[in-house]
Each structure stands twice: as structure tokens, then as C-alpha cells.
């Protein structure tokens, strides 16, 4: 009986002590930060330019950042955040990542058997990877592992594919791709893209990949002026002034395609 009483007394005293310590010595958190933190998506993708969701919430509460930089926040949540902060949202144009390469196993030639570490940068360091094209997707999935939203799939044909409905445009994949073949483009203008990244001349490209841009300029002629750009031997969509989707029909190499 005494044991039970003693334990109860000790328990109550301890609880009181903990309560008091928490009250007088507890770390003071800004309630605003806490509220913001609950609204943040928690993906820690870094797309806002800060080192994770908590960092961005702190910056917003301190007035150093504006809401709207978070690529994965829904409009509804953004509204709530703006209400909390009492500011107007400045939502930038949402972005989407595009793998500018058609070099899957049906198109790209393989020059070597790579059996090293399953990482694109590692493959790059051993004779530049297994594929003949030195500009295209290596298909080893460094981007897919870096994506916090699971939006990148490595197809069985060894090329990365981005699912635009899952992609939030945070740009993590863009920063890890050693070939710089993933590009962030405005979502509103990304209906059609040039799926090639090689600036080489057409005969050089043709030797290593049958899916690359041959620099024929047909798309440039078919689109209105300024809608398609050609840099050397590589066409590109002008995302500030995108061409109509019908332009894809003129591409003989089938590397100007609608977004999948």
C-alpha cells in the first residue's frame, strides 16, 4: 500500500516539476512559425530556395521571404498561408521538369557495357558512360532517387521519364543530373518540347542516336517567327512564346514531341 502511495506522490511531484520547467525554461517558439510549419507540405524539396520547409517557414515569419515560392503548395494552402501572414501571394509561373533526350534503347547506341556503381555521375567518370551520345540521359536514375515526389521513372529502355502530374518543379533532378539533360520549363508553355540535348552536327548525332534533333529547321519554318529557336544544330522551344502543338508533325526525327 505504501509503495503505491509513494509512487503516486513521486509521480505527481515529477509531473509538477516537468510542467514548471517547461513553463519557465521552455524554448520560445513563434506561434506563427508553428502554424506555418503545419501548413507546409513537408517534402523538404528545396524548390523554394531554402534548406527545407522549416527554414522557409522561419524566413516567411521573419518577413525575409514571400509566400508563393513553394512549388508543391496547393493554391488553397497558399491562401491560408497568406491570410496568416497578411500579405498578398506572389505565385510565380509553376515549372515542370523535362528530360530533353530521346535516347532510349530503341534509339541510342550502346558503346560499352557499364557494370559499375548504379549512379549517373559514377558512370560519367568511367569513359563517359555506356551510351554513345555524350550529352544524353544515362538512364541510371540519379534524378529518380533525388526526386522527393517520386515523379521520375526510369523506363525499362534506360531513359528517365518525368510524370508531369506528379512533378512539382522543385529542380532537384536538374541539379543532380551530371549531363544537364533535365531542364525546368514553365508548365504553361511545356505542351511540346525538343527531346534532344546534343549540340553536335547531324551526322555525328546520327551515328550514336536515331532519335536526336538533326537541325533541319523544319520546325522553325513551320512555327511563327520567334516560336522555335535553333542554337547551332539543336532546335529549342521558345518558352516565352510557345509554338502551336501542330508543329510537332513536321519534325522528321520525331524529337519535337508533345509532352507525354
Give the footprint of another protein on this chain (CB under 8 A).
111-112, 115-117, 119, 121-122, 124-130, 134, 146
DSSP E strand stretches across 20-159:
95-99, 152-154
Nearer to another protein, 173 or 228 (CB): 173
DSSP string, 122-164: HHHHTTT-SBS-SSS---S-HHHHH-TT--EEE-TTS-EEE-T
CB of 160 to another protein, least distance (A): 18
Residues in the chain: 260
Q: Name the phi and psi angles at 126, rounded to 5.
A: -105, 95
Nearer to another protein, 134 or 227 (CB): 134
CB of 70 to another protein, least distance (A): 22
81-89 contacts, C-beta under 8 A, 24 or more apart: 81/36, 81/39, 84/32, 84/35, 84/36, 84/39, 85/32, 85/36, 85/60, 85/61
CA dihedral 39, 44, 48, 50 (to 10 degrees): 110
CB of 200 to another protein, least distance (A): 9
CB of 146 to another protein, least distance (A): 8
219 grid coordinates: 520546325
Q: Kindly give, in sequence order, each residue whose CB lies less than 8 Å from that of residue 107, ignoring residues fewer than 6 positions away.
A: 209, 210, 211, 212
Nearer to another protein, 44 or 227 (CB): 44
CB of 177 to another protein, least distance (A): 13
CB of 74 to another protein, least distance (A): 28
Nearer to another protein, 60 or 152 (CB): 152
Nearer to another protein, 142 or 193 (CB): 142
Nearer to another protein, 119 or 153 (CB): 119
Amino acid at each position: 500500500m505504501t509503495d503505491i502511495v509513494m509512487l503516486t506522490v513521486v509521480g505527481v511531484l515529477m509531473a509538477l516539476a516537468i510542467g514548471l520547467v517547461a513553463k519557465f525554461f521552455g524554448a520560445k517558439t513563434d506561434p506563427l512559425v508553428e502554424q506555418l510549419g503545419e501548413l507546409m507540405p513537408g517534402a523538404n524539396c528545396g524548390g523554394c530556395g531554402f534548406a527545407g520547409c522549416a527554414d522557409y517557414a522561419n524566413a516567411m515569419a521573419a518577413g525575409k521571404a514571400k509566400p508563393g515560392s513553394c512549388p508543391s503548395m496547393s493554391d488553397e494552402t497558399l491562401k491560408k498561408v497568406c491570410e496568416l501572414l497578411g500579405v498578398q501571394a506572389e505565385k510565380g509561373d509553376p515549372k515542370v521538369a523535362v528530360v530533353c533526350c530521346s535516347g532510349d534503347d530503341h534509339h541510342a547506341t550502346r558503346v560499352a557495357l557499364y557494370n559499375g556503381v548504379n549512379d549517373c555521375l559514377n558512370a560519367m567518370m568511367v569513359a563517359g558512360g555506356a551510351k554513345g551520345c555524350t550529352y544524353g540521359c544515362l538512364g541510371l536514375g540519379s534524378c529518380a532517387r533525388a526526386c522527393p515526389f517520386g515523379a521520375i521513372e526510369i523506363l525499362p529502355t534506360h531513359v528517365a521519364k518525368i510524370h508531369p502530374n506528379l512533378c512539382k518543379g522543385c529542380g532537384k533532378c536538374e541539379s543532380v543530373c551530371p549531363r544537364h539533360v533535365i531542364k525546368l520549363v514553365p508548365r504553361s508553355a511545356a505542351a511540346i518540347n525538343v527531346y534532344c540535348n546534343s549540340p553536335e552536327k547531324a551526322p555525328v548525332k546520327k551515328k550514336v542516336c536515331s532519335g536526336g534533333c538533326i537541325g533541319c529547321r523544319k520546325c522553325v519554318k513551320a512555327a511563327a517567327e520567334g516560336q522555335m529557336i535553333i542554337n547551332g544544330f539543336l532546335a529549342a522551344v521558345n518558352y516565352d512564346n510557345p509554338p502551336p502543338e501542330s508543329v510537332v508533325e513536321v519534325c522528321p526525327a520525331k524529337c519535337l514531341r508533345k509532352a507525354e
